[in-house]
Chain A
Amino acid sequence: MGKYIGQAIKRVEDQRFITGKGTYTDDIVLHRMTHAYILRSQLAHARIKSIDTSAAKAAPGVVAVFTGADVQEVNGVPCGWQVNFKSGETMREPKHPLLVHDKVRHVGDSVAVVIAETKAQARDAADLIEVDYEELPVVVESVDALKPGAAKVHDELPDNLVFDWELGDASAADEGLAKAAHVTSMKIRNQRLVPNPIEPRSYIGDYDASRDNYTLYTSSQNPHVIRLLMCAFVLGIPEHKVRVVAKDVGGGFGSKIYHYTEEALVTWASKQIGRPIKWTSERSEAFVTDAHGRDHHTTAQMGFDADGKLTALKVHTDANIGAYLSTFSTAVPTYLYGTLLQGQYTTPAVYVSVNAVFTNTTAVDAYRGAGRPEATYLLERLMDTAAAEMGMDPAELRMKNFIPAFDGVDQPGYQTQVALQYDSGNYEAAMRKALDIIGYDELRKEQEEARKQGRYIGIGFSSYIEACGIAPSAVVGSLGARAGLFESANVRVQPTGMVSVYTGSHSHGQGHDTTFAQVVADHLGIDMSNVEIIHGDTEQVPFGMGTYGSRSLAVGGSAIVGALEKVKEKGAKVAAHLLEASEQDLEFADGSWTVKGTDKSISFGEVALASYVPHNFPEGLEPGIEFNSFYDPANFTYPFGTYIAVVEVDPETGKTTIKRFVAVDDVGNIVNPMIVEGQIHGGLAQGIGQALLEGAVYDESGQLTTGTFLDYAMPRADDLISFEVDGNVTPCPHNPLGAKGAGEAGCIGSTPAIVNAVVDALRPLGVSDLAMPLTPQKVWAAINSAS
């Protein structure tokens, strides 16, 4: 359709970023603005015996100091998803206060806030606060926190369990394993990660007493959600009194979805002092207060018959949730994880059980992929390990077990053993394309040759599937979500025929200004430069659920299409009137309505003008053209693909070098292939980062020993290579754009491909498993202990 969709249009938002004119929250300066510094706990678990703020209050420039005692009457930040125990017992949901009063529960917990004329003054004054702590025993690992007698993170709870949960048929899985000719059993650790968008979180609270209105400027992926949670659950302010603005946001990767205590704190405190307050996280604060990702301990058994066909999968996971429940934290190790354990395979029986566990660590929540990387890593490590154990080729083992192709139109969706119904898929085609690109048969020969020369080359596979386009509201509501997950759009046609589009999706790097404009321009047959995309302001956009779960195009884009259809419907009425024809005789193409079979036509711009200067207008029709649309998806979308990594490991140093990385993704229809490829690249880098470099490490006392960029290794330019990205297109059958989403795919699929490749390289040396991240030290040690 049209001239824009499918084209690699250069991004219209880039001009401001390449000239230094972006507006990130910390760039905003308000009249009479003060600065907040938050005193944070340096202990992981301790009772607060007393706090003395008198010296801080008297320090130069200090406007106010607040502690937990001051916000005791204020609610804590809520969790957005209730997952109850198997027994039906309600999820345990202790208060997450804006400032702690009784005790600190992780390093970085908020103890007091100092508000001063400058940030330096606030920080200086915070040093003068005296806190008397009684240190308490600390639990860091989920498996330790579950042991009888473990220190309790929340005194009022019976133990550290948030909930236990299960999905699938346990007895069918047991039977499938019992009759299997081969069972592969693994213990799998999916380590803790720190998302680390390069822009630290930043908030400005601004209370206007004259109007009794609040404005919160925030580095958020979903400003409406923040408004909803903060107003309804924390501060008890009617939401029409609160404006939340998220202008340019410097990356999120999930970590900026959640409603953080600091957002509510600056908003609340601004009213107390009657002045705006800015708080911007320092990186060392971000490491201990931005929600972390992953942190699973898992055991799994995968059964195969004598022919290599899957018979069953049985999984148990202990998921570390941290000290408090972050907004989506409870959905991640359950409905975004267990439901994906079917993978791309026809496994006839799948069962998963999960314990979610409190510990004295930073909260864990969704990080790029959110549950799906954990599921994919588990499945794909099992598949490569099983192939090696059974003496089969890992590509062949996958092909033997792939769900046959189905388009979701002529063939029905695929009903999994774990609740989901896949929309459309062609898994074998993605695998075959990846094998072709990498030149698989030749590559195996090269690997053999290299081994003879003492060089260790490995080939690793990963065939991933994810559930995106989050999500059908009724479905997630029945599973405990406390919100609907639709999206909204407003399309305002201006009198000149220019089009302003207000979307509830939020761009923090995804390029919505461009992609959405391509969709709008093609649907209306107008020039892209006539379209403006507006997002990130609750006072402008009608409503929005924001951007995460690769949902912007599939859900937000579909809402825009819904509004465009209404625009065209009304436009046709106006056009018919002006052309003195009946609507049925009109066709709309290239931005004009034409009377079929004639040269009588009227342009979109002329219809727009007539709608605002309605001197000659259809009787009974309102002037103007502006429409809202809300889109609630019928199903999740299911992007998929196959990745192949080729690595070489130096046995002398343990260092892994990535030689090639082939990614074949099928993300449904594509609007802007340049942007999609960029999304894949970024995802690959983060997934490879988890495989090789990244890992948050707590010591026994609950100190984060990887708390700076000096200790937490993220991929740098010279750690990576140029990726070979390709794809197929299996359209989504249930949304108007046929799009599935591309934001998380790379991060979900790449991690196991790399680890499988390294293990494949080292198998001749007796290495059969490795725990991430595969640092040279760890790989070297594994080689030496194996041989």
Chain B
Amino acid sequence: MQVTMTVNGATVSQDVEPRTLLVQFLRENLSLTGTHVGCDTSSCGACTIVVNGESVKSCTLLAVQCDGAEITTIEGLASNGTLHPLQEGFREKHGLQCGYCTPGMIMSSWQLLQRNPKPSEQEIRHALEGNFCRCTGYDNIVKAVQWAADQSA
């Protein structure tokens, strides 16, 4: 099936098998390998991206369901070479170790800050409960999101 969408500002159009997951489409068809796969039950959040302004787990959508959609992945978060405050925050507060969950974690945090620009620690922890990190114990991830929130103050 033909599918057309805007990914990180560029229009892409490809012929895909109907069963192709959105995450496969991004990784395999578009070579956008910053979005990761960590499970097969929509539990880990490593594949989180933004579709039409909402963060979603890209393993739970078929590529064909996203025909006409506007998509942002980790590769498209920085603008004109300037990192997003969340990207800076994760570095500044040591919010990542192996880096595998990081893109999904950042995209989920992006959604949180859209909805709640000044989240409390508990609100951050609650908002990120769909994303596993096995390295950091989440302590510095919380601080990274707070740091990013403080930048827009």
Contact = CB atoms under 8 A, between A and B. Distances in A.
A710 B126 contact: no
Given A198-B100, A248-B99, A250-B100, A678 B87 contact: no
Interface string A642-670: 00000000000000000000000000000
A408 interface: no
Interface stretch (A265-273, A312-320, A681-689): A681-689
A310 to B, nearest CB: 33
Given A198-B134, A199-B98, A708 B125 contact: no
Nearest to A709: B43
A785 interface: no
Contact of A197 (B41, B98, B103): B98
A714 interface: yes
A716 B134 CA distance: 9
Contacts of B122: 718
B126 A718 contact: yes
Contacts of A682: 97, 134-137
B33 interface: yes
A114 to B, nearest CB: 18
Contacts of A284: 40-41
Nearest to A249: B98
A723 B137 contact: yes
Nearest to A680: B137
Interface stretch (A16-24, A154-162, A592-600): A16-24
B55 interface: no
A198 B90 contact: no
Interface residues of A, number: 58
B39 A708 contact: yes
B139 A199 contact: no
B41 A20 contact: no
B138 A685 contact: yes
A677 B143 CA distance: 13
A290 to B, nearest CB: 12
B70 interface: no
A606 interface: no
A683 B130 CA distance: 20
Nearest to A18: B87
A30 B31 CA distance: 13
Interface string B13-44: 00001010000000100011111111111011
B106 A708 contact: no
Interface string B82-103: 0100010011101011111111
Interface string A4-46: 0000001101111111111110110100000000000000000
Interface in B59-96: 73-75, 77-78, 83, 87, 90-92, 94, 96
Given A17-B102, A18-B90, A283-B44, A717 B38 contact: no
B135 A20 contact: no
A676 to B, nearest CB: 10
A677 B140 CA distance: 10
A235 interface: no
Contacts of A709: 39, 41, 43-44, 132
B44 A198 contact: yes
Contacts, number: 178
Nearest to B87: A18
Contact of B100 (A14, A24, A677): A24
A678 B142 CA distance: 13
Contacts of A746: 137
Interface in A122-156: none
A717 B123 CA distance: 10
B39 A20 contact: no
Interface residues of B, number: 57
- Select the residue from B103, B126, B139 with max chain A CB neighbours within 10 A: B139
Contacts of B78: 19
Contacts of B96: 14, 17-18
Interface in B106-121: 106, 121
Nearest to A286: B39
A531 interface: no
Contacts of B39: 283, 708-709
A199 B135 contact: no
A674 interface: yes
A134 B105 CA distance: 46
A720 B139 contact: yes
Contact of B33 (A27, A199, A678): A27
A686 B136 CA distance: 10
Nearest to B93: A674
A251 B139 contact: no
A678 B44 contact: no
B134 A720 contact: no
B129 interface: yes
B139 A722 contact: yes
Nearest to B99: A17
A717 B125 contact: yes
Interface string B123-153: 0111011111111111111100000000000
A582 B78 CA distance: 55
A474 interface: no
B146 to A, nearest CB: 11
B139 A26 contact: no
A22 B99 contact: yes
A641 to B, nearest CB: 16
- Select the residue from B31, B41, B90 with max chain A CB neighbours within 10 A: B41
A-B complex: 7 closest residue pairs judged by Cβ atoms:
A20-B34, A250-B100, A17-B99, A685-B137, A509-B98, A509-B97, A709-B43
Interface of B: 17, 19, 27, 31-41, 43-44, 46, 73-75, 77-78, 83, 87, 90-92, 94, 96-103, 106, 121-122, 124-126, 128-142
Given A19-B34, A199-B98, A199-B100, 5 more contacts: A10-B94, A18-B90, A20-B74, A674-B94, A715-B137
